[in-house]
Structure 1
Amino acid sequence: MKLQFKRAPKPESIPTADWNNWTWQLRQSLKSLSDFEKAFNLDEQERSAFQEGAEVFNIRTTPYYAGLAGPQSQDPIRRILMPNALELATPAQAMLDPLGERKNNPAPRIIHRYPDRVLFLVTDICSVYCRYCTRKHFTGQEQAFIKNNEYEEALSYIKSHTGIREVILSGGDPLTISDAQLDRTLFDLRKIDHVEIIRVGTRMPVVCPMRVSEDLVKILKKHKPVFLMSHFNHPRELTEEAAQAVEKFVDNGIPVMNQMVLLNGVNNHPAIVQALSRRLLYLRAKPYYMFQCDPSRGTDHLRTSIEDSLEIQKELWGNLSGLAMPTLSLDIPDGGGKTYYVPNYETQSSSEKRMYRGWDGVEAEYVNPTADRIQKPLDAELYFSEWESLKNAKT
């Protein structure tokens, strides 16, 4: 079956040339109560959030993304972009820095939590401030591109830590910076011999797909290998424009991996997750992670329980192709790193054999080879120094 994607609505009063210009979308962003009142009929919880909610987190959305939201206050897209008085409620858990990034911040704009990779925060700005954001302690400060001295210090840190193999451009949203700034950043990173992979983490294909131009993909292609880490949360975000943006990347050899967040009242249902995953896969984008929402300040009403998330995963497992199945993951608060969840089908175990009951009820045993048959590869030593440098990358 050929999947169809609907075009996003465009107000007739706005010229097409303006609407399709990503810089126009950013300039015309909805930021104030009066901006939102023109686009939405606000309920009392939404309206009151504009007085105090901005203290929790900045408020902003593109006209394009605002047009995807429905008229009901509980509309899934609306829950992502619209401030709500519930953000001010007393939460079960609220952390300004839930991932412990401040204590893993050895240089300006660098987050180094894992040995072989770093986050490089190249901007503070996003075109949409999603209400569940995990980086409220940093994002939304409205600095378009980082100061030159911070840029140079960040590059120096990456150069001096030779175990770093991947650099993930983040922020803010790195695709809110200009083509020239992005090209310069990628060029400077590619001059560092030990940097093998560059990732770009972005919501722009979702909230402002007109940003994905031929010039942009040429820049990314020029500095390959570059991976595009997208952030679609709901199948309605995959409009015709967004689908074209995703395909523009993969058609030019830029792999797209999607990281969704399970959100209460937005996508916490197996039917929605499978619909999003199947559509992404159809566009040749890999559904990569299905994250538990972090306990960031003001997100309590958007978080699902782990039990709810596990039930969604259980429903999907086996019924959804492995290619389309995202990995359920939780970031351990305060910088503990990721932990993963998979359904446990093991019913019995011993050193000799293990018993399993599969997702559809099939039962069987797996017999281990005897211990005397296990041997290590002869050529492991060839890769030992590389392995040691990776483990010691943060030292």
Structure 2
Amino acid sequence: MAQGLWKAQYALRNGLLRNRASPAVGEYGGNSVFARTALRSGPATKFSQGTNQMRRLVSAALFGQPRQQDEPAPPRITCSTATASKVDSTIQSSAAIQLTPLTPSSPSRTSHELALETGDKPRYWTHVPQWDTITRKEFISNAFQVRNTVKSARDLERFLLTVLPERLPTSKRPFLEHLKTREDFIRDARAGLEIASMEVRLTPEILSLVDWTSPLDDPIRMQFISLKSSLLPDHKALTLDSLGEQGDSPVPGLVHRYPGRALFLATSNCPVYCRYCTRAYMVGPATGSTQKQPQKPSLNRWEAMFRHIEQHSEIQDIVVSGGDVYQLAPDHLRMIGERLLGIPHIRRFRIASKGLSVNPGRIIDPADSWGNTLIDLSNQGRKIGKQVCWHTHFNHPKEVTWIAREAAHHLFKNGVIVRNQSVLQRGVNDDKDTMAALLKSLADINVQPYYVYQHDLTRSVEDLRTPLETILELDKHLRGTLSGFMMPAFVVDLPGGGGKRLASTYDKYDPVSGESVWSAPGLPGAKGKREYKYYDPRPLPTTVKELQQLRVQQDLMHKHKSTRPEDFMRGHDVNNAVGHPDFQMKGAVKENEKPSHAFAHPTKTFPTTYAPTGQPIGPISLLSAPPPGNPSE
């Protein structure tokens, strides 16, 4: 044991640290492989006796960590290049240390980096083949996350080819059961993106959280990657700017709806693009179905927004959002924050960003200053009696990774208040157990669960929306399971600019028709006197006939690159489509059958052919059949 320990020390302190010309050193990444091998040596190696002593000695030799009092100092040995190379060869031929090729790493390492490398925190990204050798330090870095972000449909296809199995497990959802293979999934995702209102943009953090062995029902996949086979026609009440923000914008990018608060839209870019984005009218690049009105970072635009804020002394509270403020350079974040802190009547402002869930490593990345800039703004505000906090966005407990926990702890110990806003989504977090686990996970990392939103009437996401009764049931069952100050408010952000209302404060709600009626008397002027309506989504198809009808609708949507009924139903009878109120169809309801709010109540039999070409269709033939339309078009 003593001889083997001496060899490890000798090589670490001399040959591997100094002899960078050695082929073995270059191939195996310098001292890092020996440090890791020595520190992780198990009972099966020649060092099984006294392993802990050896680990401490090697750590002390490489990283300056203190030795135990009963341990001798490692020998200080110098040698020539030839001698060092000889020791290299001796150690490589020894069965005591098994070498694994690694990416070359920096010879200088901090104690924090060592903790990341040798700790028990799982490298949960290694199931992605191209990242299986990525270290914790590399994965945490913002540079790695940005460099490896999937930014286009082509990027996504290439990525999916590397992670998907050839055969997929059958989905629990009948409308996805026909997707059996990797190629089925990729074709369906490509077709879904052509219809969707949001482009694809996904960080390695998010891509690593998807279970690619079973992607059809994965709650992370469902939030970010559209599948054509799950898309339903949008509700007739939907508008692209469903919350009416543009109507409340006195200057571009500033939403001033409430007397004492304003929304500062600093950018229209995000680190990821969510399918369910409520600002699809401005966020991200244009898609095949949706043109955008971007709010790009601009000093001139920001200055006009600042002037409006300065001229309205009733404004005390600002939300700095976008897009996502995570996309701002640290200097721009500082400039906006310090300008707001310098306005006398501003008492508080909130940074709105999903960054803590989609790229949390940036907060603890020593090479990036975004997190420390936020901490500094928070400290500046505290000194003058103003609150600066972060509102982030976790939707599922899988998103609370150990990196997110470390980032949240870093913010907490530096005094930054962090609150969370979740969106309720069907199949993602709409059951009691999942939502309870999410709220507890957030409370445990000192992130206050602040809001759970009823899903907005947003384009191309009818499959994710839930009925109002779902959020009411969650509120009833979960209230009391956490301390009151850690219990979120379950709210509906009313279409048309009515603002956020507690889900239980509706004026009228008919679960059968799916219509709820609301008022917002606290708003000024006409907004406080008018009536607001929210509509439940259509139920998902469950029968063969409903699936056949859905296939017809989906192919028409794909042909017209839209999920809006008026865009693809005009001129196509499709046997009266469906009897849902968002199509404004008339048809008798059979005895003992639900009214027209149910998924489909046709006045004739369901079609068994494509419309309008007559091409055969079955309940699971969406991808195998030719696309709808005239082949000569």
Q: What do the CA deviations read for 1:359-383 (whole angstroms, capped 9, x no partner)?
A: xxxxxxxxxxxxxxxxxxxxxxxxx
After TM superposition, the structure 1 = structure 2 runs for residues 1-395 of structure 1, keeping only pairs within 5 Å, are 8-10=124-126, 11-14=131-134, 16-37=136-157, 38-39=159-160, 40-41=163-164, 44=184, 47-51=187-191, 53-54=193-194, 56-71=197-212, 72=214, 73-85=216-228, 89-93=232-236, 94-141=238-285, 146-213=297-364, 215-224=372-381, 225-342=387-504
Report the AA paired with residue 65 of structure 1.
I
Determine helix, strand or coil for the equivalent of 1:29: coil
Equivalent residues, number: 345
- TM-score, length basis structure 1: 0.80
Relative to structure 1, is the Cα distance of residues 160 and 343 closer, same or farther in structure 2, using a 3 angstrom cutoff? closer
How far residue 6 of structure 1 moved from its aligned partner, in angstroms, is: 6.0
Q: Contact conserved, 1:331 with 1:339, CA < 8 A, in 2?
A: yes
Relative to structure 1, is the Cα distance of residues 169 and 86 closer, same or farther in structure 2, using a 3 angstrom cutoff? farther
Structure of higher CA gyration radius: 2
Q: What do the CA deviations read for 1:156-189 (whole angstroms, capped 9, x no partner)?
A: 1111111110111100110111111101111111
Report the AA paired with residue 147 of structure 2.
R
Relative to structure 1, is the Cα distance of residues 267 and 6 closer, same or farther in structure 2, using a 3 angstrom cutoff? farther
How far residue 68 of structure 1 moved from its aligned partner, in angstroms, is: 0.4
Q: Distance in 2 between matches of 1:314 and 1:99?
A: 26
Q: What do the CA deviations read for 1:313-364 (whole angstroms, capped 9, x no partner)?
A: 21112344323321110011011111103499xxxxxxxxxxxxxxxxxxxx
Relative to structure 1, is the Cα distance of residues 169 and 145 closer, same or farther in structure 2, using a 3 angstrom cutoff? same
Report the AA paired with residue 31 of structure 1.
K
Identity %: 33
Q: Distance in 2 between matches of 1:105 and 1:135?
A: 14
Report the AA paired with residue 23 of structure 1.
A
Q: Contact conserved, 1:173 with 1:201, CA < 8 A, in 2?
A: yes
How far residue 26 of structure 1 moved from its aligned partner, in angstroms, is: 2.1
How far residue 44 of structure 1 moved from its aligned partner, in angstroms, is: 3.6
Determine helix, strand or coil for the equivalent of 2:466: coil
How far residue 233 of structure 1 moved from its aligned partner, in angstroms, is: 0.6
Q: Contact conserved, 2:192 with 2:226, CA < 8 A, in 1?
A: no
Deviates more, 1:170-179 or 1:90-99: 90-99
Relative to structure 1, is the Cα distance of residues 172 and 343 closer, same or farther in structure 2, using a 3 angstrom cutoff? closer
Q: What do the CA deviations read for 1:233-272 (whole angstroms, capped 9, x no partner)?
A: 1111000001111122221111111111110000001111
Aligned to 2:565: none
Report the AA paired with residue 376 of structure 2.
I
Q: Distance in 2 between matches of 1:262 and 1:6?
A: 29
Q: Contact conserved, 1:96 with 1:297, CA < 8 A, in 2?
A: yes
Relative to structure 1, is the Cα distance of residues 140 and 100 closer, same or farther in structure 2, using a 3 angstrom cutoff? same
Q: Contact conserved, 2:392 with 2:420, CA < 8 A, in 1?
A: yes
Q: Distance in 2 between matches of 1:31 and 1:261?
A: 23
Determine helix, strand or coil for the equivalent of 2:470: helix
Q: Distance in 1 between matches of 2:459 and 2:186?
A: 17
Gaps of 5+ in 1: 345-389
Relative to structure 1, is the Cα distance of residues 70 and 335 closer, same or farther in structure 2, using a 3 angstrom cutoff? same
Report the AA paired with residue 85 of structure 1.
K
Determine helix, strand or coil for the equivalent of 1:259: strand
Determine helix, strand or coil for the equivalent of 1:136: coil
Q: Contact conserved, 2:271 with 2:327, CA < 8 A, in 1?
A: yes
Gaps of 5+ in 2: 1-119, 165-181, 287-293, 365-370, 382-386, 507-522, 528-633
- TM-score, length basis structure 2: 0.51
Relative to structure 1, is the Cα distance of residues 52 and 270 closer, same or farther in structure 2, using a 3 angstrom cutoff? closer
How far residue 282 of structure 1 moved from its aligned partner, in angstroms, is: 1.4
Q: Distance in 2 between matches of 1:343 and 1:147?
A: 40
Deviates more, 1:195-204 or 1:312-321: 312-321
Q: Distance in 1 between matches of 2:121 and 2:493?
A: 32
Q: Contact conserved, 2:492 with 2:501, CA < 8 A, in 1?
A: yes
Q: Contact conserved, 1:262 with 1:290, CA < 8 A, in 2?
A: yes
Report the AA paired with residue 416 of structure 2.
I
Determine helix, strand or coil for the equivalent of 2:335: helix
How far residue 141 of structure 1 moved from its aligned partner, in angstroms, is: 3.9
